[in-house]
Amino acid sequence: MKIQQSYWEQQSFFKNIDIAIVGSGIVGLSAAIHCKEQMPQAKVLIIEKGVLPTGASTRNAGFACFGSLTELLDDLENHSEDEVFALVERRWQGLQRLRQRVGDSDLGYRAWGGYEIFRQEESEIAQTCLEKIDYFNKAIQSITGLEETYQIRNKEIPKFGFSNIRTMIVNTAEGQIHTGDMMKSLLAIARQKGVEILNGLGIKSVHDEENEVILETDFGWHFRAKKALIATNGFAQHLLPKLQVQPARNQVLITKPIDNLSIKGCFHYDRGYVYFRNIDNRILLGGGRNLAKEVEATNNFGLTTFIQDHLEKLLREVILPKQTFEIDQRWSGILGVGDIKKPIIESISQNVVVAVRMGGMGVAIGSLVGEEGATILLS
């Protein structure tokens, strides 16, 4: 149903916009905050189709991570050494930026480490990782400032109560955050700096016209801004069909609180395709999209029995073999991925910039990517 825009709405909400930002995830919010920091007088408007930010930023696992060993080894197969460590550095710096902006307390930041765990049948890849520990520690010492970022922790496996896990390598500099509190804080910071945010308004098209940009909403309303940033990540192809970013759904579940839960930290399993952590005496567990790549290559939220059963089986057989548990909630989120592991941050026309394709790294790099997109916009 088309609703005509009133004169009042047009005059008060959609007039004299300097910068329009489409999408209020980590990237859109970081970009908006940066714009206001650089140009306090500018009118910055975020347009968000969801009631809340509804992509990945409010639905992720909250790992403040910058690379587990199988992930880095995988990356080295497809990227140069320089590219791989440059990305590690960006993730590390992005996390420092996020912590500095939001503050560890509001972020719920916990420096509890990140563990990569390997089953008995993964002994070959586990051995390769063990042999490479020194190499990776040397390579990233200048980034983390630590001599031994990665350490073998096999002796601690019994403490966590896992079954069939033979090798465990900790990343001592990895932390975890409270995803919801992070987003609530970023929204509050943006508003406090004077960013305006409109929810429930999807953008249907964005195009340059002379010295301004025309944005068309799902309501059929049009408005103008001097410049626009598209930060819609896994949904970017709706607006820009040719952009090399594909949606990838990730499913998650969380248990009810568990008595005497001994698991503490972030855990990477099955080469990082599965991840779990503790939160509020519960286990949050997600991933497994590698088992159904085609079905999960979608930007439709939803759950499948296949992946949820797989996750539950892991809980029963590997993660919590000696404890009874109940599942409390299940949800999914949408990633933006591509053939190469690098965000797209570029101008696509005179007054429009995109900042998308965060992959599974947006908590880490989202702050910097938003700022870099904003810098291009303001230049």
Residues lying near ligand FAD in the complex (CB under 6 A) are found at 22-28, 47-50, 53-57, 59-63, 65, 202-203, 231-235, 238-239, 250, 252, 286, 333, 335, 358, 360-364, 366
Q: How far is the CB of 109 from ligand FAD (least distance, A)?
A: 13
Which lies closer to ligand FAD via its Cβ, residue 21 or residue 168? 21
d(CA 347, CA 29): 18
Q: Among the residues of 249-350, which ranges form H helices?
A: 293-296, 305-314
Which lies closer to ligand FAD via its Cβ, residue 9 or residue 166? 9
Q: How far is the CB of 242 from ligand FAD (least distance, A)?
A: 16
Q: How far is the CB of 232 from ligand FAD (least distance, A)?
A: 4
Q: What phi and psi, each to the nearest 5 degrees, are found at residue 47?
A: -115, 125
Which lies closer to ligand FAD via its Cβ, residue 22 or residue 190? 22
Which lies closer to ligand FAD via its Cβ, residue 74 or residue 130? 74
Q: How far is the CB of 317 from ligand FAD (least distance, A)?
A: 22
Q: How far is the CB of 343 from ligand FAD (least distance, A)?
A: 8
Which lies closer to ligand FAD via its Cβ, residue 318 or residue 365? 365
Beta bridge partners of 175: 64
Nearest one of 10, 59, 7 to 223, comparing CA atoms: 10
d(CA 182, CA 108): 8
Q: How far is the CB of 276 from ligand FAD (least distance, A)?
A: 10
Which lies closer to ligand FAD via its Cβ, residue 140 or residue 182? 182
**Dihedral over Cα of 100, 40, 89, 336: its sign:** positive
Task: Tell me the DSSP string of 222-244.
Answer: EEEEEEEEE--GGGHHHH-TTSS
Contacts of 216 (CB under 8 A, 6+ apart): 203, 204, 205, 206, 222
- The answer to whether 34 touches 375, Cβ cutoff 8 Å, is yes
